[in-house]
Amino acid sequence: MTETHRQQLRLGKCIEDLDKLHNVPELKTKRATMLCKTAQKLFENAEEARLNGDEESSYVYYMKYLRIIAYISKDKEYLKEKSYFNNMLGTKNPNKALDAAEKLKSSLIDRYAKEQKAKRLNDIKESELFKQKIDESRKKQMEIVPIIEAPTPLGLPGPDEVTIKSEQLYSILKSGKLKVMILDVRPGSAYVESHIAYHMCISVPEECISPGQSANVLEQNLPAASKEVWAERASMELIVILDWNSTEVIPGKTLHLLKTILLKWDVKVHYARPPVALKGGYEDWLLKYPAFTTNPQAVPPRQEEFLDDMLSEIDYPNWSDLAPVTPPSRPKPHQLKPGEPIIDRASKAVAVQIYEERARMQLILEQQERLADTSLTLEMQRIEAEQDWEKVRVQRESEQHDEVRAMFLLREQEIISQLMQLENKQYDMEQENLSLREQLEEYQRREREDAARLADSIASAAHDKEAEAERARLASEQAAAERELEAKRARIADMQAQRVQLDQHREQLQQQRLRKQHASRRARRQDDDSDSYMASPDSPGATGLNRSHSSPNIPKMQSVEEDMIIPIVDRSTKPAKVAPSSDMYQRDFQPVWGRVERGLTGLKNLGNTCYMNSIVQCLNNTNMLVTYFCSGEYLGHVNRSHSTRGAIAEELAAVVRALWSGQYRFIAIKDLKNVVAKHQRTFRGCEQQDSHEFLTILMDWLHLDLQFTISVPSNKDDLPASEKAWYEYTKSKESMILQLFYGQIKSTVMCTVCGKQSVTYESFSNLSLEMPANSNRCSLSDCLKLYLNGETIPGWNCPSCKEKRDALKKLDISRLPPILVIHFKRFYVDPQEYMCNTYRKKQTFIDFPLEDLDMSEFSLNCSNKNMYDLYAVSNHYGSMEGGHYTAACRNTVTSKNVACNKHNGYGKWHKFDDHLVTVISSAEVRSSAAYILFYACHDPASLS
- DSSP letter assigned to residue 306: I
In terms of Cα–Cα distance, which of 885, 269, 933, 913 is closest to 603?
913
CB atoms within 10 A of CB 137: 11
- Annotated catalytic residue within 256, 642, 884, 910: 884
Q: Half-sphere exposure (CA, 13 Å, Cβ side) for 611?
A: 24
Catalytic position from the list 36, 201, 208, 610: 610
Yes or no: say if 876 and 864 are a contact pair by the CB < 8 Å rule.
no
**What φ, ψ does residue 480 adopt, rounded to 5°?**
-65, -40
Q: Cβ contacts of residue 430 below 8 Å, gap of 6+?
A: 375
Q: Residues 158-164: contacts with CB within 8 Å, 24+ apart?
A: 159/273, 159/595, 160/903, 160/904, 161/276, 162/248, 162/249, 162/274, 162/276, 162/277, 163/247, 163/248, 163/249, 163/276, 163/277, 163/278, 163/279, 164/240, 164/276, 164/277, 164/278, 164/279
Collapse the DSSP code of 757 into the 3-class scheme (helix H, G, I; strand E, B; otherwise coil) and give the result. Answer: strand
The DSSP element (H or E) to which 822 belongs, if any, is strand 819-824
Check if the beta carbon of residue 357 is closer than 8 Å to that of residue 443.
Answer: yes
CB distance 857 to 934 below 8 Å? no
Cα–Cα distance, 850 to 367 (Å, whole number): 23
Strands annotated E in 236-340: 238-242, 276-278
Which 3-state string (H, E, C) describes 566-632?
CCCCCCCCCCCCCCCCHHHCCCCCCCEECCCCCCCCEECCCCCCHHHHHHHHHHHCCHHHHHHHHCC
Between CA 173 and CA 189 the distance in angstroms is 25
Q: Are 890 and 909 in contact (CB under 8 A)?
A: yes
Strand partners, 822: 767, 933
d(CA 628, CA 645): 19
Minimal CA–CA distance to 650: which of 659, 640, 660, 641? Answer: 640
Rounded CA separation 739/944 (Å): 9
Is 884 among the residues known to form the active site?
A: yes
Q: How many residues does the chain have?
A: 944
Largest separation between any pair of C-alpha atoms in the chain: 119
Q: Would you give the distance in Å from CA 463 to the centre of its chain?
A: 63
CA distance 258 to 274: 11
Mapping DSSP to helix (H, G, I), strand (E, B) and coil, where does residue 92 land?
coil
Q: Phi and psi for 442 in degrees, rounded to 5?
A: -65, -45
List Cβ neighbours of 344 (8 Å cut-off, separation of 6 or more): 457, 460, 461
How far is 758 from 748, CA to CA, in rounded Å?
A: 6
Phi first, then psi, for residue 593 (nearest 5°) are -75, 150
User: Which stretches of 185-291 are DSSP H helices?
Assistant: 188-193, 215-221, 224-230, 254-264, 281-288
- Catalytic residue flag (residue 610): yes
- Known catalytic residues are 610, 884
